[in-house]
Amino acid sequence: MIDFDEAYKKVLQHTFDLGMETVPLTESNGRVLAEDIKADRDFPPFNRSTKDGIALNYAAVEKGTVTFKVEGVLSAGMAQQTLSNGPNCYEIMTGAVVPNAADTVIMYEELTIINGTATISKKPKKGQNIHVKGNDEKLGAILLKKGKRVTAADIGVLASVGKAEVKVRRNPKICVISTGNELVEVSETPLPHQIRKSNTLSLAAALADENISATSLHLLDDQEIIENALEEALQHYDVLLLSGGVSKGKFDFIPDAMEALGVRKVFHKVWQRPGKPFWFGVQEELNTVVFSFPGNPVSTFANYHVYFLPWLTNTLGLPHAEHQVILDEPIQIDPPFVRFVQVTVHWEKASLHARLLKDGGSGDLTSLSKSAGFVLLRPKEEPYQKGELVTFIPTQAII
Q: How far is the CB of 149 from a copy of itself (least distance, A)?
A: 9
Instruction: Fill in the DSSP letter of residue 96.
Output: P
Minimum gap (Å) between residue 250 Cβ and a copy of itself: 6
| Contact call for residue 45 and a copy of itself (CB under 8 A) | yes
Subset of residues 164 to 183 that bind a copy of itself, contact rule: CB under 8 A: 164, 180-183
By C-beta, is 79 or 285 nearer to a copy of itself?
79
Looking at beta carbons only, is 251 or 267 nearer to a copy of itself? 251
| 85 contributes a contact to a copy of itself by CB under 8 A | no
**Per-residue x/- marks for a copy of itself, 301-330, CB under 8 A?**
x-------------------x-xxxx----
Burial class (CB in 10 A: 0-12, 13-18, 19+), 246: buried
Among 20, 66, 70, 93, binds a copy of itself (CB under 8 A): 93
- For position 114 contacting a copy of itself by CB under 8 A, the verdict is no
According to CB under 8 A, which one of 77, 115, 358, 381 is a site residue for a copy of itself? 77
On the 0-12 / 13-18 / 19+ scale of CB atoms within 10 A, 222 is middle
Residue placing its CB nearer to a copy of itself in the complex, 191 or 381: 191
Among the listed ranges 117-125, 141-149, 264-272, 309-317, the one in contact with a copy of itself (CB under 8 A) is: 141-149
Q: Does 116 bind a copy of itself (CB under 8 A)?
A: no
Q: DSSP characters for 195-255?
A: EE--HHHHHHHHHHHTT---EEEEE-S-HHHHHHHHHHHHHH-SEEEEES--SSSTT--HH
Tell me whether residue 104 or residue 371 sits nearer to a copy of itself (CB atom).
371
- Pick the binder of a copy of itself from 16, 46, 267, 337 (CB under 8 A): 46
- Helices and strands of the chain, counted as H and E runs: 9, 26
Which of 85, 114, 186, 285 lies at the binding interface for a copy of itself (CB under 8 A)?
186
What are phi and psi for residue 200, nearest 5 degrees? -65, -35
The answer to whether residue 119 forms part of the interface with a copy of itself (CB under 8 A) is no
Contact positions with a copy of itself (CB under 8 A) in 211-270: 221, 244, 247-252
In three-state secondary structure terms, 64 is: coil
Q: Is 202 in the site for a copy of itself (CB under 8 A)?
A: yes
DSSP state of 306: I
User: CB–CB of 326/389 below 8 Å?
Assistant: yes
Query: Cβ of residue 264: shortest distance to a copy of itself, in angstroms?
Result: 25
Residue type, 351: S
Query: Between residue 373 and residue 392, which ones bind a copy of itself under the rule CB under 8 A?
Result: 389, 392
Binder to a copy of itself among 12, 333, 352, 356 (CB under 8 A)? 352
127 is a contact residue toward a copy of itself (CB under 8 A): no
Q: Give the span between the Cα atoms of 366 and 180, in whole angstroms.
A: 21
User: Which residues on neighbouring strands pair with residue 272, listed in sequence order?
Assistant: 338
In angstroms, rounded to a whole number, what is the distance separating the alpha carbons of residues 69 and 63? 16
CA distance 296 to 216: 17
Residue 96 near residue 81 (C-beta atoms within 8 A):
no
Residue selected from 64, 369, 381, 382 as contacting a copy of itself according to rule CB under 8 A: 369
Region near a copy of itself per CB under 8 A, out of 121-129, 228-236, 360-368, 375-383: 360-368
Q: In what order do the strands lie in the sheet with 174-179?
A: 215-219, 174-179, 239-243, 288-293, 279-283, 264-268
Out of 138, 140, 284, 347, the residue judged to bind a copy of itself by CB under 8 A: 347
Torsion of CA 261, 219, 292, 34, to 10 degrees: 80
Task: Pick the piece of the chain touching a copy of itself (CB under 8 A) from 15-23, 119-127, 261-269, 346-354.
Answer: 346-354
